[in-house]
Structure 1
Amino acid sequence: MLIRPATADDWASIHPFFAEIVAAGETYAYPEGLTSEQAEALWMVQHRVVVAEEDGRVLGSATMGPNRPGRGSHVATASFMVDGAARGAGVGRALGEHMLAWAQDAGYRAVQFNAVVETNTGAVRLWRSLGFEVVGTVPEAFDSRAHGLVGLHVMHRSL
């Protein structure tokens, strides 16, 4: 699996799984019904965007950069999406490991995820296995399509 910087041409491969994940209503609080252009403006303009590809097929994507500007810019954050057909194949782990190495190399002191849906047990398990801790949970901060109001974990890992 190759992880490389995303290009504008990659959006055509990212958008289908982006739209599917947002429509599922289980992991991201993006508005429903975004046009491709609106979704692209949210995802592709982040500080750094990468894709994981294998045999020329984009399997997932991640965004990464400073969690906050100015005095909070020493802490990184990231977001991840994996094509449903590639879930369980290590794509999320590979993207997570890539992000951690990038953040450390870029001089960040830590990584903070601001909103990991508590019912997204696969993601919580993955991030814990990569050294993240839940440092707090905002109760009922996410309206899950399947579970109703659930908490959002704030997860943290020092570098």
Structure 2
Amino acid sequence: MQASKHGEAVRRDSQKWRKLRRKFLTGNTFINISLPVNDGYYTSNKDNAPDNIKSKPKARSEQKISVWVVILAKSISEPVIRPSTGPAISVQLYQRECLSIADKFIKTHHKDRNYVFWPYLASSRYAATTQYWLKEKNVKLVTKEANGQNIPKPRPIEDFC
């Protein structure tokens, strides 16, 4: 890097010389003025940087959400949308929120009881307490053994996703 007479730093960039104007605050700290891609505050001692300038850590990705709905050929239920706190929906959340919506939805749209409840293959859907709740409500359910995981054609959830 070469320095010119008015505090401008000159460097070689992609086989061309380019001037970068930098306003020097101290000997080791400066603010970029003319470099649009990398505007920011630079220092050799981060303890002296003002609190509003210090970098704040960012999350690696957006927070995930879980969406759950009951899907029929003619209708779709009210969705349950919650922030995802782990890899899957918990048994308690599934029973408290999802199954209560499914129960109301089935009672409204299938008074004739002509339906089959075909859940996605997650552990909360086939937990013992969930199975007990479904039997208590007389819900017709595809068993876990009959609900194969690597056969997308007969699984209706695969068409929705």
TM-score bracket, shorter-length normalisation: 0.3 to 0.5
TM-score (norm 2): 0.33
Larger RCO (CA under 8 A, 6+ residues apart): 1
Q: Which of the pair is proportionally richer in strand? A: 1
Structure ranking higher in helix proportion: 1
Q: Bigger radius of gyration, 1 or 2? A: 2
